[in-house]
Amino acid sequence: MNLLFIADPLVGFKTYKDSTYAMMVEAARRGHGLYAMLAGDLAWREGRIVGRMRAISLTGGDPWFAEGDAEWRELAEFDAVIMRTDPPFDQAYLYATWLLEMAERQGARVFNRPQSLRDYNEKLAIARFPQFIAPTLVSNDAGLIRAFLAEHGDIVVKPLNAMGGSGIFRLRPDDANLGAILETVTRNGAETIMAQRYLPAIKDGDKRILVINGEVVPYCLARIPAEGETRGNLAAGGTGVARPLTDRDLAIACSLGPTLKQAGLLLVGLDVIGDCLTEVNVTSPTCFQEITQQTGFDVAAMFVDALERLAKGAV
């Protein structure tokens, strides 16, 4: 197969932990051709969706890749197009999903499905599965957020379009900076945010559970907050510890799996704190390498297995 990865610049990859890199290594090991491009290099030209891309090969050294000359090619030429651009989900990302959806209509096989990248906001998507979530409010109104805080006594607030723990605050009613924080996170009421009841189980880790084409990876990565930190995200200094799924973890993931598969979401990262689903990550879920290194379960192989089946038209 020839695979096209739409990702952030390759020179910025942290290959010791990057999941896109792990996908590429496994695909190359199986003899598949690799190409890479930026989402900003998509174009609609003469009625066709094309991209300015380069063939890449893995060197096993530093730099970790070699690339060919840039060329414009139709996305429909590839066996699979893997969209792995990191958030924020901004206007440029939105435009990319529209162009990728046009490419789909021309025969391209795009994973994750562009429409579902739009439909499944990584924070708001939990509203589709209310039986698994903690008390949650979504609003830009400081009065509603204050009332939610008064009701629950301890909450976290976070933006709807960020990643890696960016912009997350823990709030209590006696916080002297409460007003300033709400003004900042809502941009004085211009930005809608999510507020959730604080879950003390975060001390045991914010668990990332991977679902690949509806099937659940049997291990999660519990991202444990650093001392004095609320956020477990690895980007915020958390420590990743791989663990077998609990019965509750498995129940959540197995319940969501068929719905996610039906939506064309090949790879999803569920975030679970304690017994509660907190996010449904669809843009560029990670933690492949950490789980594999600590458990021996080859997540990248499971992913490429599923990709090969889908590219061949198998369910």
231 is catalytic: yes
Burial 189-212 (b: 16+ CB within 10 A, else e): eeebbbbbbbbeebebbbbbbbbb
174 is catalytic: no
17 is catalytic: no
CA distances from 83 to 17, 113, 284 (A): 18, 9, 8
Q: What are φ and ψ of residue 52, in 5° steps?
A: -90, 110
135 and 280 Cβ atoms separated by less than 8 Å: no
- Of 109, 207, 231, 261, which is the active-site residue? 231
What residues contact residue 149 under an 8 Å CB cut-off, 6+ apart? 155, 171, 172, 173, 178, 195
123 is catalytic: yes
281 is catalytic: yes
215 is catalytic: no
Q: What are φ and ψ of residue 270, in 5° steps?
A: -85, 135
- Of 197, 207, 208, 261, which is the active-site residue? 208
CA atoms of 58 and 201, how far apart (whole Å): 41
271 is catalytic: yes
- Of 121, 223, 233, 261, which is the active-site residue? 223
Longest dimension (CA), the chain: 60
- Of 18, 207, 281, 290, which is the active-site residue? 281
CA atoms of 23 and 1, how far apart (whole Å): 14
208 is catalytic: yes
- Of 84, 113, 158, 207, which is the active-site residue? 158
- Of 123, 197, 207, 261, which is the active-site residue? 123
93-96, long-range: CB < 8 A, 24+ apart: 93/39, 93/283, 94/118, 96/6, 96/39, 96/40, 96/42
Residue in this structure with the two tokens 């174009």, named with its chain if needed: 43
- Of 26, 206, 271, 290, which is the active-site residue? 271
In DSSP terms, which residues pair with 138 in a beta bridge? Answer: 194
224 and 232 Cβ atoms separated by less than 8 Å: yes
State the burial class of residue 6 (Cβ atoms within 10 Å of its Cβ: 0-12, 13-18, 19+): buried
Helical spans, DSSP H, in the chain: 19-29, 91-105, 114-119, 142-152, 178-185, 247-262, 288-295, 299-311
Residue type (1 letter), 153 = G
Active-site residues, by number, are: 123, 158, 208, 223, 231, 271, 279, 281
